[in-house]
Structure 1
């Protein structure tokens, strides 16, 4: 049976509407079930079938190619066809096919990435947008990232699109750059591009919200690798300004970037100068869980200096109360761990330690930590939807960050058991510090 929903532009040539064939088969089989892909209006289509930039004279439900490896090789060649219509059909076909992991890996093996990079600056805006979307899908695979990053020219092309093209293409290019920046090996090559952090910081000042969110995630990964270039480009002051935005996603992105900046000694000094610990108090009571997680994560680094501890002593009552309440949020282990780490930093100050001993010791002992059966090891705060559920095992799920360490030999992914063990260790360390006495006492 024909399915106009999936692999739409790889249908065989047929004079009849494929939906009509499906309905005829259903009637003959007396099948009464409702199929949203064959009813009118069609529902749950692939996103590539509803583009923001429509391709003229392209019927995405019909093409001259059949299924199979032969068809994939043909559309790979037709990406450089002199016929504009054939080229558009090939681009749409590739975009549909890379959604299937097996076909995506086959296209990577026949070097589709190199052909796509040559089309990034094509005169047709439809091709430019679709090529960026295809590269984003390929960059979710290790082999795809390796092939794409073997051509350093792609970063220059992406920056050209991000800085000069229309809004839809800027968004698609920003999404591609963000996906590439997730990999440490790719980040090192991306930073070889001249002034990339400085250019991204200039762009986010007057850009649309959705694009700014993508750039902030990219900057977070780039700054984690190189804080000095970001400090030279005044990234700290820019992120402070973005922290006052109304959108919680931009607030989270700005605070995550500040977290990476504060890993540098100069970043910690700037945090003390701008009194960052005091300004973060208001975010600890935010209605957004993501904002609270980002705020406490930033506070882990702003409370490391002696100056910040003595400054925190001035509003010790409100700060410790908010942090202890966050420690009791068993639904978010990452929030618990970060809150306990901030309290551990603050307890190095004798006056704050004495206050914790008098008022919050029993509350700290009563902190409940989840078991491994109750937690899947991610910082995800929402349930999986239909879009992410299909590619759960084969592709990276956007918006779900696997828990990882900041330092150490195994700074990447850690399993649930070791992470929960860190939670128990943090709780015991906090209790030890609360009851610690100097040798003079």
Structure 2
């Protein structure tokens, strides 16, 4: 008999094909063979990559032709086929092909985005979900974002799906909108769509947690570009209400949105009216480190006005003690940087500056800052940076956001050395602020 696992024959000469004998024995033993083309999940992907809505009679593991340039043109043409099954097959094929950057750019040049507009409101929910997933991938390219945002109808259809469709499609549409809002030019085009901010603010109150997180990230990007419209739509009050949410991820997202709102003069006035500095005090002792980082980042802007500094003087001892203790967390450079900046803002008040000089100057001098070999440039320090040294970029760390610069042409790029040098400069600025005198001896 032939052993397929060892690729060898158990006997040298046999009058019958050994594979026939193997099949007869397996059938007699009722042994089931594993067929990768028929087993679930399809194409042997991870379960998490499978859509929640499955297309009937579609096997994406077997294609009718090779996907060269001619094949891409044919499947692009099949999107408008009168046969719904052909449309489903074309969408599944395009979804696989846009994962390859070269094919994605070629499909963008074929104006596949415009062809998908008519399918966004199709009767089949599988088509609607798949169209949103394809648009999300296309929106990760500059050419794709330009093509999508050039038609305001695409944005209107996305908002219609977000507001009225089933949960799976609402999530896919929200993911597409978040991807589009990453670019500043695209954010400007999104804000031209009437009622987009108001609808998103209504959705974040009574929506599922995963969809709310996507909406909050979209709102953060839109508010960063133009905070006036969200302020007029009462975004400040909505975000303040989300502070009491039980999910720490939603609280962090609301604080990040509030940070963008407080960059505007009206946002600073509202922060003084609602006394945000006192509202944020309990979050400085939160068990979630992400909430503490977001709370201190928001406090950087709530402590800029004179009114907030004199208000903080009422809890000077407690507030400064907590902020100085958070500065002594060397495995969280973003938290150190933000805490020291808040203390610099508070040192503009003479009484707080005197308190810092008397009680905390020695503690500030003892703040330890990590070197570049101990930190891998992400918001949370893991063992990967210590184990792999400078090869940490080859590791896959899910759920960790890479720190990015706020301004400049390369806003998504971070240099670990310059960031740590900036922390040293801020520490020196804090010591200078503590020892600053408003008169000349």
| Number of equivalent positions | 404
- Indicate yes or no: 2:301 matched with 1:280: no
Alignment of 1:28-427 (within 5 A): 28=7, 45=45, 50-379=50-379, 400-405=401-406, 413-427=413-427
Contact 1:36 1:42 in 2 (8 A): no
Residue by residue over 1:41-82, the C-alpha shift from the partner in whole angstroms, topping out at 9 and shown as x without a partner, is 669615686221122222333332324333322222212211
In 1, distance between residues paired with 2:55 and 2:37? 23
In 2, distance between residues paired with 1:403 and 1:347? 27
- Superposition deviation, residue 367 in structure 1: 1.4
Q: Relative to structure 1, is the Cα distance of residues 183 and 195 closer, same or farther in structure 2, using a 3 angstrom cutoff?
A: same
In 2, distance between residues paired with 1:415 and 1:250? 29
Moved over 4 A (4+): 24-27, 35-44, 46-49, 380-384, 408-414
Which structure ranks higher in relative contact order (CA pairs < 8 Å, sequence separation ≥ 6)?
1
Contact 1:37 1:45 in 2 (8 A): no
Gaps of 5+ in 1: 1-23, 385-391
- Superposition deviation, residue 27 in structure 1: 5.8
- Superposition deviation, residue 410 in structure 1: 7.5
| Aligned-partner SS, 1:205 | coil
- Superposition deviation, residue 222 in structure 1: 0.7
| Aligned-partner SS, 2:373 | helix
With 304-313 and 57-66 compared, the bigger mean Cα shift is at 57-66
In 2, distance between residues paired with 1:411 and 1:56? 43
- Superposition deviation, residue 29 in structure 1: 8.4
Residue by residue over 1:207-226, the C-alpha shift from the partner in whole angstroms, topping out at 9 and shown as x without a partner, is 11111111011001111111
In 2, distance between residues paired with 1:274 and 1:141? 41
Q: Relative to structure 1, is the Cα distance of residues 246 and 202 closer, same or farther in structure 2, using a 3 angstrom cutoff?
A: same
Q: Relative to structure 1, is the Cα distance of residues 234 and 431 closer, same or farther in structure 2, using a 3 angstrom cutoff?
A: same
| Aligned-partner SS, 2:205 | helix
In 2, distance between residues paired with 1:301 and 1:41? 52
Q: Relative to structure 1, is the Cα distance of residues 150 and 378 closer, same or farther in structure 2, using a 3 angstrom cutoff?
A: farther
In 2, distance between residues paired with 1:29 and 1:330? 60
Contact 1:377 1:403 in 2 (8 A): no
Contact 1:289 1:381 in 2 (8 A): no
- Superposition deviation, residue 206 in structure 1: 1.4
Residue by residue over 1:334-362, the C-alpha shift from the partner in whole angstroms, topping out at 9 and shown as x without a partner, is 21111110000001111111111122112
Larger Rg: 2
In 1, distance between residues paired with 2:289 and 2:354? 30
With 104-113 and 214-223 compared, the bigger mean Cα shift is at 104-113
Q: Relative to structure 1, is the Cα distance of residues 49 and 423 closer, same or farther in structure 2, using a 3 angstrom cutoff?
A: closer
| TM-score, length basis structure 2 | 0.84
RMSD, aligned CA: 2.8
In 2, distance between residues paired with 1:405 and 1:247? 26
Aligned to 2:26: none
| TM-score, length basis structure 1 | 0.84
| Aligned-partner SS, 1:221 | helix
Contact 1:300 1:338 in 2 (8 A): yes
In 2, distance between residues paired with 1:383 and 1:152? 46
Q: Relative to structure 1, is the Cα distance of residues 230 and 49 closer, same or farther in structure 2, using a 3 angstrom cutoff?
A: closer
| Aligned-partner SS, 2:204 | helix
